Structure 1
Amino acid sequence: MSTPAAPSGTGELRRRLGVFDAVVIGLGSMIGAGIFAAPVPAARAAGSGLLLGLALAAVVAYCNATSSARLAARYPASGGTYVYGRERLGDFWGYLAGWGFIVGKTASCAAMALTVGSYVWPGQTHAVAVAAVVALTAVNYTGVQKAAWLTRAIVALVLAVLAAVTTVCLTGGTAQGARLDIGADATAGGVLQAAGLLFFAFAGYARIATLGEEVRDPARTIPRAIPLALGITLLVYAAVAVTVLSVLGPDRLAHASAPLAEAVRVAGAPGLAPVVQVGAAVAALGSLLALILGVSRTTLAMARDHHLPRALAAVHPRFQVPHRAELAIGAVVAVLAATVDVRGAIGFSSFGVLAYYAVANAAALTLTTAENRPPRAVPLFGLAGCLVLACALPLASVVSGAAVIGIGAAAYGLRNTLTHTGR
């Protein structure tokens, strides 16, 4: 099966990104606002079992990453699992993956923008969120290389802040009564829900695959960049989670409004708390930047195939970016950032992303040995893990997510019916 090419007349994106840039973009997507906020709902769901949830989320993410990397090397085109599902499972499954990704990640963009607003200016959260969306859409519009350079700076700053938090927590004091009895106060359902919530923070490695058309030598670069980015992120998350949990204890962590800032205060370094707040805002900006990149590329791919308006497939002649798709996504995210609640956006996004990766694992199961398929246990566990974690999310997230996926499926069926009727 040949690698799909962009249809004539829509333009092709230029391959500019090497392994280092691809890893940095993946890190910018994963090491974002999730680590500053996700431990709180995870601790509420599982107590100290959030570490077990983190491990489970990481295993599922590894399976997803492996499946995505093998598929991305085979199909190095913009669109990620939208392309893989279409090529390996059929048009409907590719469309459904693309729909879940665009809807879920658009909600995630809004959540990241609102996180920026809550840390920068709590009294004007929505206004700051909209401004952040406008600014980063403009950065993406001027070219993916500039976005990669900005992401490098953001990742470096966030890693420095997280390193400072970990060091202070390891050398400082602990909250009265804080214990680290991993999983002692957890239930199986709580650990699964914590894993589903923490998975939200791992999902950024797909950004490397969705930029497949802009990566140099994708058959080598993508399979190397995805596990590298995921492995670095897991090490950082594990270090931060263990130290913060040991300082605050599960009960205090579950009720913290800004867990990392509170942890450094308890550890005896209150002067570091404002630095952590700035780091959280910058991390959210990094996630938002990479999210807009990924969503716009999947929009481009679906527009090329007429699943979205054809005008969104245009590539800017100078900047070599899908400029109309980026502007459209930026406009939708700005509206959401002005109106929605961050918690609802995160839960809804998690469901859509898990559905997206379920299709990726199913597609990887169809690869042959000659196509460098992963061991069958990897996509099988990834598929099962995605379905289980999606169903373990809070009920409101499951219901709303399933409803929107159903709307997408109905729209696909209606489009096909109208197409056949018009022949």
Structure 2
Amino acid sequence: MTTAPDTDNPRCARTERGLGPVTGTALTIAGVVGTGVLVLPGLAVRDAGPAALVAVAALVALSVPLAVTFAALGARFPAAGGVSSFVVRGVGPAAGAVTAWWFYLGVPLGVPAMGLFAGDYVQAAVGGGTATQLGTALLVLAVAAAATARGVQVSGGMQVALTTVLVGGLLAVLALVAPAVALERLTPFAPNGWAAVAPAVLVLFWLLTGWEAAAHLTGRFADARRDVPRATAMTLVVVAVLSGGTTLALLTVPGIDAGGSAPVTQLLGTVIGGAAGTAAAVLAVVVTLGNTNAYVAGLAELGGEMGRSGQAPGWLASAPGTVPRRSLTVVTVQALVSLAAVTVLGWSTEHLVLLTTASQVAVYGAGLIAALRLLPRRTAGWWAAAVSLPPILVLAALSGWYLLAPTGLAVAALAHRRLSSRRLPRPLS
């Protein structure tokens, strides 16, 4: 039987046991809140208009049972790794391998999107259009890959610091523009029809990624029973305020092109004028560099662990504590292919987000099915999984052709597993 990697959450910082309530809450928030909050509300508004607020509310509501489920899994199996390890325990090694492949090869499709998020702000500040946006994304990826190759990885403390800058900066912007909010601008509420809420939900789902980090961190809290619910509740509040507040501000502050580029630059520009572009661009680039480094390093390490465990080809394996260079190469090349698709095929950032969302929805679905099998029936965690699974299945159905990505990865994972089993020597009779 193969074993799952130690963790398959790229943004989950490595920490020691004995986390207090403040540090644990900070790490939980850092695992969930990322650069996407600077851009995705604008994409959702472009898709659905004011009805994007319904999408935000739905996803915040879905976050509650998701967070409870993964916290319960982490409390019951504190020594386990990421979602794939729960799937191995609850469903079987084949399903666990598929889940790991969804993480390892599904997430890198969206890694360049973070660079494109930052590039959107840079081009708004200095001009250059698409060339500046793509150049920024390429530079962010190159810096992250080079840092990982040299063994440099954003620490848990640095990740918390970067998230603090992001959250604090965005809250400051929202506070500054609050006096200008004009709620009458919320009409018509659904200019593109209620069906437009579906793509808005899928775009915003990126903001939910990271709740599985609760499972990884639960076993490291000094007093998990007391502090995990507090950390989860605080993270929910932060996600709700940032995503809901940004969406509402884009819709109601006069003079904002709600579906346009660099939405936070536009908001800040209503208060401080021309300096807004530079300030927002610096914030976006600094936070994106940290997040991308954490993602790339975590994914590279995941590939090395998958190679050692047999979930992926053995040539990906790397010794524990060493830089997984071959796995890093795979992650980097795949990210470059995604950027090439943007350049050659004319894909938008939203395409990359939705491709990644399809794999992330599949991962959550597998994790919830495992939770229903692993958690005691009729406990809070079990009920949370039961409540979460139907909307996750609906999101999977709404993903449409983007589901080809996790479907193809599942076929590849099972094919590798079958071929690997054929190569094993047969026991002597």
TM-score normalised by the shorter chain: which range applies? Answer: 0.7 to 0.9
* Structure-1 separation of matches of 2:48 and 2:416: 38
- Per the alignment, residue 96 of structure 1 pairs with 98
- Per the alignment, residue 197 of structure 1 pairs with 203
Among residues 365, 370, 382, which one is paired with 1:363 in the alignment?
A: 370
Range moving further from structure 2, 233-242 or 399-408 = 399-408
Q: Which amino acid aligns with 1:41?
A: L
Per-residue CA distance 1:203-240 (angstroms, 9 max, x = gap) = 12334545789x46696676664554343222222222
Among residues 34, 46, 49, which one is paired with 1:47 in the alignment?
A: 49
* Structure-2 separation of matches of 1:112 and 1:296: 17
Range moving further from structure 2, 87-96 or 287-296 = 287-296
Q: Are 2:276 and 1:272 equivalent residues in the alignment?
A: yes
SS in 1 for 2:312: coil
Per-residue CA distance 1:91-120 (angstroms, 9 max, x = gap) = 122122211122221112221133334434
Per-residue CA distance 1:325-352 (angstroms, 9 max, x = gap) = 7634653355346524233221110000
User: Unaligned regions of 5+ residues in structure 1, if any?
Assistant: 7-12
- Per the alignment, residue 260 of structure 1 pairs with 264
- Per the alignment, residue 348 of structure 1 pairs with 355
SS in 2 for 1:307: coil
Cα gap change, 1:356 to 1:280, in 2 (>3 Å): same
- Per the alignment, residue 9 of structure 2 pairs with none
Q: Is the 8 A contact 2:90 2:370 kept in 1?
A: yes
Among residues 114, 126, 132, which one is paired with 2:140 in the alignment?
A: 132
- Per the alignment, residue 345 of structure 2 pairs with none
Q: Are 2:182 and 1:157 equivalent residues in the alignment?
A: no
Aligned residues: 403
Q: If the length of structure 1 is used for normalisation, what is the TM-score?
A: 0.80
User: Unaligned regions of 5+ residues in structure 2, if any?
Assistant: 7-12, 343-348
Q: Which amino acid aligns with 2:62?
A: V
- Per the alignment, residue 391 of structure 1 pairs with 397
Per-residue CA distance 1:263-289 (angstroms, 9 max, x = gap) = 333567443343123222233234323
Cα gap change, 1:170 to 1:131, in 2 (>3 Å): same
Task: Note the C-alpha offset of 1:358.
Answer: 0.5
Among residues 164, 171, 178, which one is paired with 2:179 in the alignment?
A: 171
SS in 2 for 1:65: helix
- Per the alignment, residue 378 of structure 1 pairs with 384
Q: Which amino acid aligns with 1:135?
A: V
After TM superposition, the structure 1 = structure 2 runs for residues 285-324 of structure 1, keeping only pairs within 5 Å, are 285-296=289-300, 298-310=302-314, 312-316=316-320, 320=321, 323-324=324-325
Q: Are 2:67 and 1:65 equivalent residues in the alignment?
A: yes
Q: Is the 8 A contact 1:77 1:212 kept in 2?
A: no
Q: Are 2:91 and 1:110 equivalent residues in the alignment?
A: no
Q: Which amino acid aligns with 2:205?
A: F
Q: Is the 8 A contact 1:67 1:360 kept in 2?
A: no
Per-residue CA distance 1:278-329 (angstroms, 9 max, x = gap) = 222233234323323543454354334201134645455xxx4764476346
- Per the alignment, residue 16 of structure 2 pairs with 16
* Structure-2 separation of matches of 1:335 and 1:411: 24
- Per the alignment, residue 9 of structure 1 pairs with none
Cα gap change, 1:383 to 1:155, in 2 (>3 Å): same
Per-residue CA distance 1:141-186 (angstroms, 9 max, x = gap) = 6476x52232133112212321222022212365xx9612595446
Q: Is the 8 A contact 2:66 2:211 kept in 1?
A: no
* Structure-1 separation of matches of 2:229 and 2:90: 19
* Structure-1 separation of matches of 2:5 and 2:164: 35
Per-residue CA distance 1:234-265 (angstroms, 9 max, x = gap) = 22222222222211599x413x1222222333
Cα gap change, 1:415 to 1:70, in 2 (>3 Å): same
* Structure-1 separation of matches of 2:217 and 2:294: 10
Identical residues among aligned pairs (%): 22
Task: Note the C-alpha offset of 1:80.
Answer: 0.9
- Per the alignment, residue 408 of structure 1 pairs with 413
* Structure-2 separation of matches of 1:56 and 1:321: 42
Q: Which amino acid aligns with 1:402?
A: T
SS in 2 for 1:369: coil
* Structure-2 separation of matches of 1:108 and 1:309: 23
After TM superposition, the structure 1 = structure 2 runs for residues 226-241 of structure 1, keeping only pairs within 5 Å, are 226-241=232-247
SS in 2 for 1:179: helix
Q: Which amino acid aligns with 2:283?
A: G
* Structure-1 separation of matches of 2:284 and 2:322: 28
* Structure-2 separation of matches of 1:290 and 1:48: 33
Per-residue CA distance 1:353-403 (angstroms, 9 max, x = gap) = 000000111111123439x9535432122111112112223x442344434
Q: Are 2:155 and 1:147 equivalent residues in the alignment?
A: yes
- Per the alignment, residue 286 of structure 2 pairs with 282
Q: Is the 8 A contact 1:110 1:336 kept in 2?
A: no
Range moving further from structure 2, 327-336 or 344-353 = 327-336
Q: Which amino acid aligns with 2:74?
A: A
Task: Note the C-alpha offset of 1:84.
Answer: 0.3
* Structure-1 separation of matches of 2:253 and 2:403: 33
* Structure-1 separation of matches of 2:112 and 2:303: 17
Per-residue CA distance 1:58-114 (angstroms, 9 max, x = gap) = 222322222222212333456411100001111122122211122221112221133
- Per the alignment, residue 10 of structure 2 pairs with none
SS in 1 for 2:253: helix
Q: Is the 8 A contact 2:103 2:360 kept in 1?
A: yes
